Each structure stands twice: as structure tokens, then as C-alpha cells.
Amino acid sequence: MNKKGLLLVVSGPSGVGKGTVCNEYVKNHPECSLSVSATTRKPREGEKDGINYFFLSEEEFRKKIDNGGFLEHAVFCGNYYGTPKDTVMQMIDDGKDVILEIEVQGAMQVRAHYPEGVFIFVLPPSIEVLEERLRGRNTETDDVIKERLQRAKAEFKFIEKYNYVLVNDTVENATKTLGDIINAEKCSMSRNYKELKSEYID
């Protein structure tokens, strides 16, 4: 009914499987896209500009920050990462839904700029399951796993700022529920009232 797309912000601890759920959803919903981040990190082999990332020089990136060109940005390991505002807003204005898969600090920046976004926090069925999943990867040392769990616990403190909690028990269930949330939000009165008022009341 409402013509604008939704901005969906998806966060959650490392290992919770949020990327898998978002990819699975987008695969079956052509009206929904994953946002492409900008970064100052050098492209790795096979990475394409505009597909994996928008690759910018540090000067370009800083200039874009100064012009308010990012919905959120942060520095990791000496490289800038950010969500380009214009690209995302254009898609939303065109009626496309856009998913930003970003960490908590970035999500809070987006929330400040765009409170009408839909903020979804992905949780494991339990802390124990999260630990099992991290260990199951068999790629990390004990110390790295402990650090990730500590980080997850720090992130949980922000869940109250999100609109929804999505428990990733199975990818299938979580992907379906993500779709339910998106469909329900499209029916929310606050997103439709203006149009309904002119059609049914005025």
C-alpha cells in the first residue's frame, strides 16, 4: 500500500548466522536488496567495485563523511567502512527494501538519522548454542572464541534499541520470520496513515 521501501537494519553477534538469513531472504525476494558498503580497504582478488564494496580512497571517504554522505561509518583495522546514504535512500524512494547488515554501533548511527528504519536483532536460541556454533567452525582459537562471546554480551546490551528480535533456530524459520516482519511492517498504520487519510477520510 505504501510506496516507499523499508530500510531494514540487521545486527547480531558474530556466528549467529545473520548473513545466511539475509542472503536467503534476498535470494527469493527481488524487491529486497542487501546494501553495498563503501570501504577504503584494497579490493581482494575477485572483488568488484559496486558489487562487493564501493572502493574509495581515504580522501574520497573523508570528504563523503564531511558531506553527510554516510548513514553510518566506522574504522576497523585502520580501514574505513560505511553505508552510502544516497544509494540506499534512492532505492527506498523507488520502493525497494534494503537490508543493512551492520554491527550495533553502526545501527545506532542509522537509528539517529532514520528512526523509521526497522531494527532487527538476530539472536541464537541460547548463549550455549552460539558458543557451539563458534566452536563448530574449528577455525578459531579458544581465546578468539572467548573474545567473541564477550563482544556478543556487550552487544546484547543494545537489544532494547531494536524493534524486533529474530531467533535463528533454523535458517528456514528465521528467514520466514524475517519475511513476516517485513510484511507486517508494510501494514503498520504509521507507514500508511497519510495515504489512507487522503483516500478514505479527507
- Per CB under 8 A, contacts with a copy of itself among 136-175 are 153, 156-157, 159-160, 162-167
E strand or H helix at 49: none
- Binding range to a copy of itself, per CB under 8 A, among 21-29, 33-41, 78-86, 186-194: 186-194
Residue 67 or residue 188: which is nearer to a copy of itself going by CB?
A: 188
Cβ-based burial of 52 (10 A; exposed 0-12, middle 13-18, buried ≥19)? middle
State which of residues 72, 101, 103, 185 lies at the interface with a copy of itself (CB under 8 A): 185
- Binding range to a copy of itself, per CB under 8 A, among 38-46, 88-96, 135-143, 190-198: 190-198
**Longest alpha-carbon distance in the chain:** 64
Sign of CA dihedral 124, 126, 127, 132: negative
In one-letter notation, the amino acid at residue 184 is: A
Pattern 82-121, a copy of itself, x by CB under 8 A: ---------------------------------------x
Number of residues that bind a copy of itself (CB under 8 A): 33
Closest CA relative to residue 15, chosen from 159, 102, 145: 145
Under DSSP, the state recorded for 160 is G
By the rule CB under 8 A, 193 interacts with a copy of itself: yes
Least separation in angstroms between residue 10's CB and a copy of itself is 13
Closest CA relative to residue 174, chosen from 40, 18, 61, 50: 18
Q: ∠ at Cα 164 (158, 167), nearest 5°?
A: 95
Beta bridge partners of 10: 101, 120
- Binding range to a copy of itself, per CB under 8 A, among 31-39, 104-112, 136-144, 192-200: 192-200
- Binding range to a copy of itself, per CB under 8 A, among 42-50, 62-70, 88-96, 122-130: 122-130
- Binding residues vs a copy of itself (CB under 8 A): 1, 121, 123, 126-127, 153, 156-157, 159-160, 162-167, 177, 179-181, 183-185, 187-189, 192-193, 196-197, 199-201
